[in-house]
Structure 1
Amino acid sequence: MAQQRPSTNGRDDVVEYIPALRAFARIFCRQPEEADDLVQETLMKALANLDKYEPGTKMKSWLFTIMRNTYCTRAKKNKRESVGVDESMVEKLVTQPSQEWSVHAREVQSALESLPVHHREILVLVLMLGETYEDAAEICGCPVGTVKSRLNRARRQLLLALNEPEAQPLDSVDA
């Protein structure tokens, strides 16, 4: 069994904290490659400035501070810099207008509100909240068959209200 020798220059101590630095980097970076880059840059800075480390203080805290500051500096720099785009691509970089989606969302909300309460309730429970037919039946106090019927009718009424081509007129029978 090999004995650990005390570190004479602090480099061994820095290397000992690489797993902790990798874990800490994942807080800042979602991509593992970006986290590894941040760890590498932190290690380079730490080793280059090892003479500024004060013995008796916590090495791990010192390294984490270097990493946090490195990340913040990177973030500020990335915010200021814009990546160059080929001029032929500039014409293709267009942001689509979002007004149409907003109008459509209001139409759907209005159509949903125009449904009878028992149809709207089933539609929200099953389609939006993801409840099972059985759970929806228990919540509404009706048989599972009624839930399925109401859901089918609610879907068709919603499609009709939104003037969707798949919609078929409903008969006047209501579940």
Structure 2
Amino acid sequence: MPVETSIEKQMLSAIPHLRAFAVSLTGDLDRADDLVQGAVLTGIEKIDQFQPGTNLQAWLFTILRNQFRTDYRKRKREVEDPNGAWAEKSFTGPAQESRLDFEDMLEALSRLSVEQREAVWLVAAEGMSYEEAARVCQTNIGTIKSRINRARANLAKNLGIDDDEDLGPTRMIRATAMMETFF
């Protein structure tokens, strides 16, 4: 639907106010201008949803604010990489190996004594300090440290980990990732 002349004038007169609001939200002139442009375009596209007799500028402010919030949520999950350096160095191994490793870890954990499994879980998975884990288990810190040490040794044995080379990606994946840096 074409935009009426009076609504078009109201939209144009709202732009400086929208821009000031966008700058206050972003702190960046370029991003603010992008937000204003997006809000005005969305306003034009959805003009049929505007209720005549209500405040057009407030409606556009709402559109701009919603766009800002959507962009903000997206940016929180994204890593800025303008020249592609981060992406170039990134390597993700196949998901199925990770799943198998996880299942192996669960199996190895199940073979630990209840006390060892409890101590490892509280400290490694829950992030508790040795002192906090000792309080939860109603024992002393030395006992918790001993249980964790034995649990780590048993996990390494159960998982077939002999040295640090056995941790992380497989040798094949590491070699593949190294080859990618040469090309």
Would the TM-score normalized by the shorter structure come out above 0.5? yes
Q: What does 1:30-41 correspond to in 2, within 5 Å?
A: 36-41=33-38
User: TM-score scaled by structure 2?
Assistant: 0.54
Q: Is this contact kept in 2: 1:22–1:39, CA < 8 A?
A: no
Q: What does 1:1-175 correspond to in 2, within 5 Å?
A: 9-10=9-10, 11-21=12-22, 36-43=33-40, 56-59=53-56, 60-62=58-60, 64-65=62-63, 97-166=94-163
What code does the residue aligned with 1:144 have? I
What code does the residue aligned with 1:61 have? W
Moved over 6 A (4+): 32-35, 66-69
Q: Is this contact kept in 2: 1:112–1:158, CA < 8 A?
A: yes
* Two-structure CA RMSD over aligned residues (Å): 4.1
Which stretches in structure 2 are left out of the alignment for 5+ residues? 1-8, 71-91, 165-183
Deviation at 1:45, TM superposition (A): 6.5
**Distance in 1 between the 2:126 and 2:13 partners?**
54
**Distance in 1 between the 2:21 and 2:112 partners?**
56
**Do the aligned partners of residues 33 and 99 (structure 1) sit closer, same or farther apart at CA in structure 2, a change above 3 Å counting?**
farther
Deviation at 1:102, TM superposition (A): 1.4
**Distance in 1 between the 2:114 and 2:100 partners?**
23
User: 128-137 or 98-107, which moves further after superposition?
Assistant: 98-107
**Do the aligned partners of residues 129 and 44 (structure 1) sit closer, same or farther apart at CA in structure 2, a change above 3 Å counting?**
same
Normalized per residue, the structure richer in helix is 2
Larger radius of gyration: 1
Q: Is this contact kept in 2: 1:119–1:153, CA < 8 A?
A: yes
**Distance in 2 between the 1:105 and 1:99 partners?**
10
Deviation at 1:41, TM superposition (A): 3.2
**Do the aligned partners of residues 124 and 66 (structure 1) sit closer, same or farther apart at CA in structure 2, a change above 3 Å counting?**
closer
1:116-138 per-residue CA deviation (whole Å, 9 max, x = no partner) reads 00000000000000001111000
Identity %: 30
Which stretches in structure 1 are left out of the alignment for 5+ residues? 1-8, 27-31, 73-94, 168-175
Deviation at 1:21, TM superposition (A): 4.8
**Distance in 1 between the 2:13 and 2:64 partners?**
17
